[in-house]
Structure 1
Amino acid sequence: MNETDFNKIIDSINSLTVYREIKNNKIIDILRHILTEEDNLPYMAELVATLTEMAEKSSFKGNLFKSYIIHLMLRNQNNFTLFCENNLDVKNSSIYELAKRDVEAIKTIASMDLTKLPDAEFLLPAITQVMDYKPVKDADSELATIPDDFTIDDVIEFHKKHGCGDISVFRSFRYNDEKKKLVGVAHPDPIRFSQLIGYKAQFDQLIDNTLAFLNGYNANNVLLVGSRGTGKSSSVKALVNEYHEQGLRLLEITKEQIEKLPDILKLLRPRGRKFIIFIDDLSFDEGEMGYKYMKSLLEGGSEGKPDNVLFYATSNRRHIIQEKWSDRGTGTSEDAEIHTTDTLNEKLSLADRFGITITFPKPTPKEYINIVKGLAAERNIELDENTLQQQAMQWEIRQKGMSGRTAKQFINNLMWNTQKEDK
């Protein structure tokens, strides 16, 4: 590469319009310094170090610079990529022409040969490594990508299939109150329905409602109620692991963030993906007002819930809000009767706003043992059935009663004890 080639790279960076945010990226900034400053060796070293760190974190391999620039483009969220995410026809628009030009410029940047950079000979062994990198954990990256010789059409199809911004990378999210943005969960619970034993009818009902949602049919908000450890939360998390490739995303919020829901829904409304807003262990004590926000949103409120959002919540209480005997009234006057009826109806009304209530009862002894047997088979535990059953029952007596969680904890303990004996 000569000075003309370097100037072409700089011009490609500076000319970005639709993808202009890329110009502020750390790698791009380092590259700009390398191409414009005389003392560029420290920047060369920084480039190698940054690319290496990225590779080990994301399982990138091969030509790290090219992979990273392509990743940067695909992860960018802008008007064009949002239109593609929403499956809109962009090809006859001006923004398509602007994006097409940007994509060609990014392709020029990505094709740069790092070994030809100024003073590259001083770091040639290191640069050679990042041009054909082999990470310690040589696993296939979970990040979706496109062909090396990509075109604007490849970019459009990518965003139609995977979305844009963080939604193209993550399947589960939390909400950052301070920054008012979604934050991707790097290592979500990988649970699948195949790992959940029992409760088939409950899982089928949950899956059917979710599939209706994903296929554009009217679907219901869901309340999952039942004893602790019965798999309510795990079943919701399993949904996104099963159906994220069909466009499902999970946003888990806390009870305290319910008042932030108007801001959250503004973020989700324009997105071309379906979101389950998940609230685990939803319950309200006397005096808490969050349920009024929740109730308003579930019934439409001043601004209706977006079509691409459903609420799924778990609770140990069927009626969610703490109910006291005084709510049922003990007086005999007509006023007291009206007041207590209104209070009781108000407290029961939130649960009624969930179109579907799925109950997860505490397992019977037989069901509990079946869960234990299933988990033992999954972990290849070789123990005669009577001994396994006896130890499982002893374990649940010492712990917190029979549940799927108790069964899993028993199996974990049994695995450890077995390994200790084998040593």
Structure 2
Amino acid sequence: MDGRKLLVYRNLNGHPVLGRYFRLWEAKEEEGESLHAFLHSLVMSGETLRDLLLKEMVRTENPFTMAVEGDRTVMPPAWKEVLQNDLGLLQAFLSEERFRALLEQKNQPPAFLELFRSCSTDAPRAALGAFFQRLPPEGPGEEACLDYARLLQTHGVGEFALYDAFVLDREGRMEPIEGFRPLAWERLYAYERQKKSLYENIRAFAEGRPCHHVLLVGASGTGKSSSVKAVVPLFRERKLKLLQMYKGQMHRLPEVFERLGDRPFKVILFIDDLSFEANEDEYKFLKSFIEGGVASEVSNILFCITSNRRHLIKEIRTERENDVHLQDFIQEMTSLSDRFGLTLFYEAPDQKTYFDMVVRMVENRGGAYVEQELLKKARVFALKHGGMSGRTAEQFVKSYLGGQMD
């Protein structure tokens, strides 16, 4: 086996762990030193060898994998040969029997075999691992290459295939959010009508049916952002992703659409707590991409935006209420907010709803309570922490169950 013979996945040779593993089979380094350097780097990676190799295969995003991901036509013969070459080599590198033989050959403990075995359950790696397990001992044939192409078309390639959520950084890179664990959908209390509307709209989007860009409006702490994030895992099998942007990044919308528009993923562009002042013009980028603009021509990108204000206008304090520029700005903002086909309002909860939230949260966490005492403390906590809201209820319950109440 020689990793240098890889063509599509040649980049794996440069990986700090996998490169060492490939070189072990070349027998060019001093055996003991190279093996232990490899084992050290593998342990430090926090992954098993099989999981790591499958992960880096999925992550590989180059002209070949991108073309296969997006093209469902017949694969050219030369491409099949190239892919067949790589799949055969990778099949060998993914062989547990070969890894066991390597350990025995170099007098390593049998327990080290656990450093090889897969424990990942994410869909892309699980599907890829199952694919290699189905390959016959003699290696992949032409049909296997076509199966592999279909696998890439189903799950996608690159980091978007591995992660649910991303954030756009200052340089415009889409950085994955490691450990994205939003609040579970069933733990979003109250606002059932809003949740149902959001769910059905995102479901239509994920299934490729007509849907609307969404504006979620309401008081702070009412669950607008949590609702958008919580809906993403519900449609993971439909390859739904979330990309969070910020107001100051509106000028990057063209490149975001260019990079994502032809991918097989459904992407929620999420902008939290958005509002504009009269001297800001970032809204023009957003407006040009919503209804009637570029966004209407791209079926796999949907805006979900939260704001404390219905028309996205920050509080205006001016003595020139009749200023023409100001009136034009207000009209522009009204026009922008009206372009969202679905607007959901999240009002601050009344006392009864707030108390219901608190009781349900405590019960669902298995906490014991005396209702009258609990609600009295919840009311005092809200008075000290900005008023009654879902966020306040969550904070109170954590303090209450953690024994941090006065």
What aligned pairs does 1:311-326 form with structure 2 within 5 A after superposition?
Answer: 311-322=303-314, 324=316
The CA deviation string for residues 59-96 of structure 1, in whole angstroms up to 9 with x for no partner, is x4xxx3x4433333233223454355447244566424
Over 3 Å counting, the alpha-carbon distance change for 1:132 and 1:340 in structure 2 is closer
Partner residue of 2:381 out of 375, 392, 395: 395
Distance 2:134 2:76 in 1: 20
The CA deviation at 1:416 is 1.2
What aligned pairs does 1:267-278 form with structure 2 within 5 A after superposition?
Answer: 267-278=259-270
The CA deviation string for residues 90-109 of structure 1, in whole angstroms up to 9 with x for no partner, is 45664244223321121123
Partner residue of 2:38 out of 26, 31, 47: 47
Equivalent residues of 2:61, 2:158 under 8 A apart: yes
Equivalent residues of 1:212, 1:219 under 8 A apart: yes
Distance 2:284 2:302 in 1: 18
The CA deviation at 1:33 is 4.2
SS of residue in 1 equivalent to 2:403: helix
Q: Counterpart in 2 of 1:176? A: 169
- 1:229 paired with 2:214, answer no
Give aligned pairs, total: 391
The CA deviation at 1:32 is 4.8
The CA deviation at 1:116 is 5.2
Over 3 Å counting, the alpha-carbon distance change for 1:32 and 1:97 in structure 2 is closer
- 1:373 paired with 2:359, answer yes
Over 3 Å counting, the alpha-carbon distance change for 1:402 and 1:323 in structure 2 is closer
- 1:351 paired with 2:311, answer no
The CA deviation at 1:277 is 0.6
SS of residue in 2 equivalent to 1:71: helix
SS of residue in 2 equivalent to 1:173: strand
- 1:245 paired with 2:237, answer yes
Unaligned 5+ runs, structure 2? 136-143
> Which stretch of structure 1 is more off in the superposition, 189-198 or 343-352?
343-352
The CA deviation string for residues 255-309 of structure 1, in whole angstroms up to 9 with x for no partner, is 2222111122122112101000101111122312211111111145478652110
Q: Counterpart in 2 of 1:27? A: 17
Partner residue of 2:280 out of 274, 288, 304: 288
- 1:155 paired with 2:137, answer no
Q: Counterpart in 1 of 2:251? A: 259
SS of residue in 2 equivalent to 1:417: coil
Distance 1:75 1:340 in 2: 48
Equivalent residues of 2:58, 2:162 under 8 A apart: no
Unaligned 5+ runs, structure 1? 1-8, 331-335
SS of residue in 2 equivalent to 1:358: strand
Equivalent residues of 2:65, 2:157 under 8 A apart: yes
Equivalent residues of 2:214, 2:341 under 8 A apart: yes
User: RMSD of aligned C-alpha atoms?
Assistant: 3.0
SS of residue in 2 equivalent to 1:149: helix
Over 3 Å counting, the alpha-carbon distance change for 1:369 and 1:155 in structure 2 is same
The CA deviation at 1:312 is 0.5
Equivalent residues of 1:371, 1:407 under 8 A apart: yes
Provide the identity percentage.
Answer: 30
SS of residue in 1 equivalent to 2:402: helix
Equivalent residues of 1:381, 1:415 under 8 A apart: yes
Q: Counterpart in 1 of 2:115? A: 133
Equivalent residues of 1:221, 1:356 under 8 A apart: yes
TM-score scaled by structure 2? 0.86
The CA deviation at 1:160 is 3.7
What aligned pairs does 1:23-102 form with structure 2 within 5 A after superposition?
Answer: 23-34=13-24, 35-54=26-45, 57-58=46-47, 60=48, 64=49, 66-83=50-67, 85-86=69-70, 88-91=72-75, 94-102=78-86
Aligned residue type for 2:4: N
Distance 2:311 2:320 in 1: 14
Distance 1:91 1:352 in 2: 46
